[in-house]
Structure 1
Amino acid sequence: MVTSTEPKPIVVGVDGSASSIAALRKAAELARMMDVPLEAVTAWQFPITYDASFPTGDWSPEGDAEDILADALERAFPEGRPERLRTSIRPGPVAASLIDMSDHASMLVLGSRGRGGFVGLLLGSVSATCAQHARCPVLIMHEPKKAPVA
């Protein structure tokens, strides 16, 4: 059996939503405190269509995922990226990709809700599925509260 001396990373799912930016920041703080690497992940898949149509031209879902991840990292860490940060773009369903990654993670950190779904839900489908099926501890971050307007 081959074992690795490299500590398992904290894996954070990133979709560009406000709660995923909060998750990125918290994951970086935890990774620094635990002295483990941080891996920011954006998953993508081709959209499901019911009429056999598919967007053509220069559109690339993988390219969009790369842009979302780069923008989220800039928004989360305007002063510079944390040390030991790795990034990855993974094809496939988001929840399944993150659950697969949980096998080799010390912790999975997610935003409570992504870009889709129904406004007002406490958990989105990805965070709920990962909380149920991940094979490591899971931390789910909510969007930061906005300051009341005076």
Structure 2
Amino acid sequence: MNGKLVPTAIVVGVDGSQPSIAALQEAVRLSTRLGTPVRALVCWTIPTSYQLPYSVGTFDFKGAAQGILDTAIEAAFGMDWPENLTTGLKMGPPRQSLIEASKEASLLVLGRRGFGGFTGLLMGSVSSACVSHAHCPVLIVHAPKPGQDHA
């Protein structure tokens, strides 16, 4: 490898929410400055038995996850996707999947919905787990407030 270090990717957890779109935009901004690739990752699962009424039939869970990913990237960048951006789908719960992905990342970037009060104590379990257990630094990005530009 000629003694050169290969930049490790910045991994971004994407779920289609506004905070995850903001996290994707921030990861690409950072990657441009750092010269690293970005990998946008959507985690998906097949519903458990108590969720079965919603999954009866031939619903394509993996295809739905790909749709979430494509829509989020288009929302973040329009049709001009960054050249250093790759995408991936990971079957498994988001907490474990993102922690596992962090083993090969230089940075894990996640969005946080920012619910306040009691609801805020119940939400954000994925970001909290990743902050506590990731194998690389974690950046939590808050979604911009209405009327506020994230740029």
Which structure carries more helix by proportion?
Answer: 2
CA distance in 1, matches of 2:51, 2:73: 36
1:130, CA displacement in angstroms?
0.4
- Does residue 31 of the first structure (1) align with residue 25 of the second (2)? no
C-alpha distance 4-95 of structure 1, shift in aligned 2 (>3 A): farther
TM-score relative to the length of structure 2: 0.85
Q: Which residue of 2 aligns with 1:91?
A: 91
Q: What stretches of structure 2 of length at least 5 have no aligned partner?
A: none
Q: Would you say how many aligned residue pairs link Structure 1 and Structure 2?
A: 143
SS of the residue corresponding to residue 86 of structure 1 reads strand
C-alpha distance 67-109 of structure 1, shift in aligned 2 (>3 A): same
Q: Which residue of 1 aligns with 2:124?
A: 124
**Structure 1 runs, 4 residues or longer, greater than 6 Å off:** none
CA distance in 2, matches of 1:95, 1:19: 17
Moved more, 28-37 or 118-127: 118-127
Q: What stretches of structure 1 of length at least 5 have no aligned partner?
A: none
Q: Which residue of 2 aligns with 1:101?
A: 101
Q: Which residue of 2 aligns with 1:73?
A: 73
Deviations 1:107-126 (A, max 9, x none): 00001139xxx995275111
Q: Percent identity?
A: 45
